[in-house]
Chain A
């Protein structure tokens, strides 16, 4: 076993990237830093385009929204679009708070449940040896390659047979069993050294305890990433054919109804686009800043 090395940057004061590279990372040349920084800057402008446009459109007054050819940058920013949106929201048939509650249940339920259920299944697949292990894992991988479009109808039939149609469960339960989450978690858990679990086993910890207190904290970057994917996916769900009752529909559906009001609602529509993007982005930023260097794995590999 290699000697334990702890790399701890927490007491270091902030230094700009171009100065820092030399002291915190090994083998970094100035020219290389410059090259990479330049590349990031140029590409970054193109990649940020959709965000820039969403923000600017949301702030544009109507005459600028209808301008042709459209300009990207707003000239007379205003919050009118948001007040329009609030007016429209307040006179909807079902109280708007209802849509918000629905979305919270569906998004949080689908996300948290999936992360837990998929991680719990990924752990034995990554670390235990038992009959059927490869079969189960290969089934998950293969399932990701089958076109989702054609499985929708059988899935609808099964959901009807299980009598969970027109309930939140019709959206939440299928989301728990997505293949990608299990695969992602399994790949990260596979990397953890076996010694990590063995010492806990010696101390008498059961498998569930090992999973929850040792494995999960060590794969924090993985489940935070999975949470981002799942949040984005569930947030974008409009309920489709699975939720018929208006009182069960999620926010996404209600907001899209507003946009479909046509040209008269172009202003509110721009605000809607902003809101639809802003929520998952906020979640993304919170999760990404928490994907910090997990010190625990440092020096623990054999």
Chain B
């Protein structure tokens, strides 16, 4: 009986049949997606619901409709400052970091064996060593003993020590520089791995077809062959550039001088972990989410054209 039903379903190519036919695919997906549902999907949905409430973590949330969003977009001046900083930060560091990751991964790929592993470590060091901010705090120390001040004073570029992180106009540029120095992270390692999987015979074929130097080889052979990794790198770059916060909190403090280092996520942390206004913090997260989704759409469309 069931068999007969199935043959009918098969003839009709229905969803039921499709699902049955691919049973094994769903079995393979199940462990991951069950966990994913509990630990990611549900929390995200709950946060979005919280964004329509007044929620102080301890008491039950109160439904308030669009109030958080209205306050956020129309009344919160600091949010506007932080949004402007974040966008500026993302527009500058996003593309540059991405290109740096690709460039250095590609150069390192020219090396072989142990030397290659060592070079990878050196360039990944800021991401793995755990003391990146300590280093920069030393460099940026505000008195004349700070390394940067010392150097600039010695060559008489400046006359007196600058309080780098307490002077509003320096905060964002310095954060951008530090971020660029930190940029060889997830995307970088993914590109290194991706370069390993490029079919070597493609290079020989390309040489015969008239590719003359390594730059042409990069554009016409390597990059198109690495498209999946390029897409991955872009998504990671977007999530990192827009979610910037640690670097600002560790170097400029939260709140920073005149909010010069405020970003969307530092603003979110201010409400979420300092003031316990989770409803409002969730509204910030939702807006940031929409911003990233939009940017991602744009970037993915651009990347499809690589190598054309």
Contacts and interface: CB of A to CB of B under 8 A. Distances in A.
A27 B91 CA distance: 35
A232 B203 CA distance: 34
Interface stretch (B63-71, B77-85, B114-122, B163-171): B114-122
B254 interface: no
A287 to B, nearest CB: 9
Nearest to B125: A51
A288 interface: yes
Interface stretch (A74-82, A85-93, A125-133): A125-133
Contact of A40 (B107, B193, B196, B272): B107
A70 B22 contact: no
A129 B284 CA distance: 37
A158 B39 CA distance: 7
Given A27-B213, A69-B145, A149-B268, A130 B26 contact: yes
Contacts of B128: 232, 277, 280-281, 284
B112 A20 contact: yes
A271 to B, nearest CB: 13
Q: Point out which of A21, A124, A150 has the most chain B C-beta atoms below 10 A from its C-beta.
A: A150
A123 B26 CA distance: 11
Nearest to B216: A27
Chain B interface residue number, banded? 35 or more
Interface stretch (A101-109, A220-228, A243-251, A260-268): A220-228
A177 B36 contact: yes
A2 B273 contact: no
A254 to B, nearest CB: 16
A242 to B, nearest CB: 12
A42 interface: no
Nearest to B201: A5
Interface in B123-175: 123-126, 128-132, 134-135, 138, 141, 145-146, 150
Contact of A184 (B116, B190, B202, B289): B190
A206 B252 CA distance: 56
A145 B292 contact: yes
Contacts of A47: 122-123, 125-126, 181, 184
Which of B44, B192, B285: most chain A CB closer than 10 A?
A: B44
Contacts of A130: 18-19, 21-22, 25-26
Interface string A41-56: 0011011111101100
Nearest to A123: B28
A289 B117 contact: yes
Residues of A contacting B: mostly: helix
Given A131-B18, A147-B285, A25 B110 contact: yes
Contacts of A229: 186, 189
A49 B119 CA distance: 13
Given A150-B281, A188-B193, A5 B28 contact: no
Contacts of B265: 147, 149
A151 B43 contact: yes
10 contacts: A47-B125, A50-B131, A120-B32, A121-B32, A149-B265, A150-B47, A150-B282, A208-B24, A208-B28, A294-B197
Kindly list the 9 A-B residue pairs having the minimum CB-CB distance in the complex, ordered from nearest. A121-B32, A69-B145, A130-B22, A187-B228, A221-B193, A177-B35, A124-B25, A154-B43, A154-B46
Interface of B: 15, 18-19, 21-22, 24-26, 28-29, 31-33, 35-36, 38-44, 46-47, 50, 57, 104, 107-108, 110-126, 128-132, 134-135, 138, 141, 145-146, 150, 181, 184, 186, 189-190, 192-194, 196-197, 199-205, 207, 211-214, 216-217, 225, 228-229, 231-232, 235-236, 238-239, 242-243, 265, 268-269, 272-273, 278, 281-282, 284-285, 288-289, 292-293, 296
Interface of A: 2-5, 7, 9, 14, 17, 20-21, 25-29, 32-33, 36, 39-40, 43-44, 46-51, 53-54, 68-70, 117-118, 120-121, 123-125, 128-131, 136, 139-147, 149-155, 157-159, 162, 173-174, 176-177, 179-180, 182-184, 187-188, 190-191, 206-208, 211, 219, 221-222, 224-225, 228-229, 232, 236, 273, 276-277, 280-281, 284-285, 288-289, 291-294, 297-301
